[in-house]
Structure 1
């Protein structure tokens, strides 16, 4: 999934958010990417991380990765185009929880071929903020 990429794809603020929420990028995941808001739930963080892949925001991905599993650096593959997100379920992860899971399917194309990633991700709070820990088997 992650590969070398020094460039970032930016989403126009008024365009629909890549996460599929129905809101504009600026008012949805863009606010989290810029640090204007913190994710109130694990699902919201997961959506912002998907959108970060879609717009090429490796900094947001690293900033929201749990310190124990965070890579030293992350370069995204510019050939991947993230094309859709489907939330399949989850546990915990609410405003008053300290951990949770989000199961999702993310669609993408690479080299003209359509594919998808299915994952059940674990999230935990660090100093009150949601972070991505890892994927469950």
Structure 2
């Protein structure tokens, strides 16, 4: 057993998995963002689509999300800053050619109907 994909010291089953499996909802924007990173690492495209705000879902294709998440080897998540509704982070991964990549994003989240949703991000 190892630490959660999101970088927390807790085990995946005790950290992000309950959010991804729908056992409970992420209580903060940062925890939602961390669980979305873990969903990329585990190839859970359903969770990624379901946690995207309804106003933005038409821009996100489940098949493409799954392909992209599985084509990469997810290495590390670094949260740089977090407020109630935003998270700035770097996601480190190896692309399909095993070339090291860093995805930098300042993400915006919205709390609606007792759940947090990803709205968009600036790269």
Listed as ranges, the matches of 1:27-106 within 5 Å are: 27-71=14-58, 73-75=61-63, 76=66, 77=68, 78-91=70-83, 93=84, 100-106=85-91
TM-score between the two structures when normalised by the length of structure 1: 0.81
Deviation at 1:128, TM superposition (A): 1.6
- For structure 2, the 5+ residue unaligned runs are none
Q: How high is the TM-score relative to the length of structure 2?
A: 0.89
Q: Distance in 1 between matches of 2:88 and 2:121?
A: 9
Structure with the largest fraction of helix: 2
> Runs of 5+ in structure 1 lacking a partner?
1-13, 94-99
The count of residues paired between Structure 1 and Structure 2 equals 117
Determine if the alignment matches structure 1 residue 131 to structure 2 residue 117: yes
Picking from 98, 103, 110, the partner of 1:117 is 103
